[in-house]
Amino acid sequence: MDQTRFYTDAYTDADADRANAYGEWRSLGARTKADHVVALCERAGVRPRRLVEIGCGAGSLLAELAARGVAPALDGYDLSAPAVEIARSHGLPGVRVEVFDGARVPVEDGAYDLAVVSHVLEHVPDPPALLAEAARIAPWVLVEVPLEDNRSAARPAKRAEAARIGHIQFFDRAAVGALLAGAGLEIRADLADPLAREHQAFGATGTRARVRARVKAGVRRAAWRAAPRVAERWFTVHYACIATSRA
């Protein structure tokens, strides 16, 4: 897969309705991701002055973090030029967004306090290299991924949908921990979150579809609360953690 072309095309959809729906989905996801960033920073006692998001896309998460005052200065890097233009169009004070090559962020070592890599590792061919780059430019690294190494996500229809949106890696919790350890990072706080009703119901049309989505979300959340590790082997939850150098 040509990563640059794939994500450039993703942010230049000529179909207005599809593009609007994609924007709404990004905004919905950004609110949940920002909740996780705020919660993990609080748990780890991290108060960044300079934050960078690697793989920031159209800047939806950066916009949420800026609105919540997570850091005075926020930078973002993405390999898709159209996505960067969308991010810049927000005109957010204190936020700078640039195109990069997808491998090396063009800054010196330790340029930031916190590097956020949210729903990116599942898209990249070499997750260890990207994590090592995040650890190079910030002493704290926050990662979020969907845990898709489970029975539900292994179904052919789900794998096809994952491929359509560019997922090429499928993680469980242990795999994320191993990746971070390989980058010399130690997890200091983590959390897991099954998809909320709003996510399950997104795009549902008609009363029956909305009710089905509500029931599905409720059943999954109840199962996850009762036995989270067992639930993660059956269906997808989102996992986020914040880590720092073991040294």
Contact criterion met (CB below 8 Å) for 232 and 226 = no
Question: What does the pLDDT read at residue 113?
Answer: 98
Question: What does the pLDDT read at residue 220?
Answer: 85
Question: What does the pLDDT read at residue 41?
Answer: 98
Question: What does the pLDDT read at residue 216?
Answer: 80
Question: What does the pLDDT read at residue 215?
Answer: 78
Q: What is the CA radius of gyration of the chain?
A: 18
**Full set of structural domains in the chain with CATH:** 3-194+237-245 (3.40.50.150)
Distances (CA, A) of 65 to 47, 69, 215, 224, 229: 13, 6, 31, 27, 29
Residue spans of the chain under pLDDT 50: none
Beta-bridge partner residues of 199: none
Is the pTM higher than 0.85? The answer reads yes
Question: What does the pLDDT read at residue 35?
Answer: 95
Pairing, β 95-99 against β 73-78: parallel
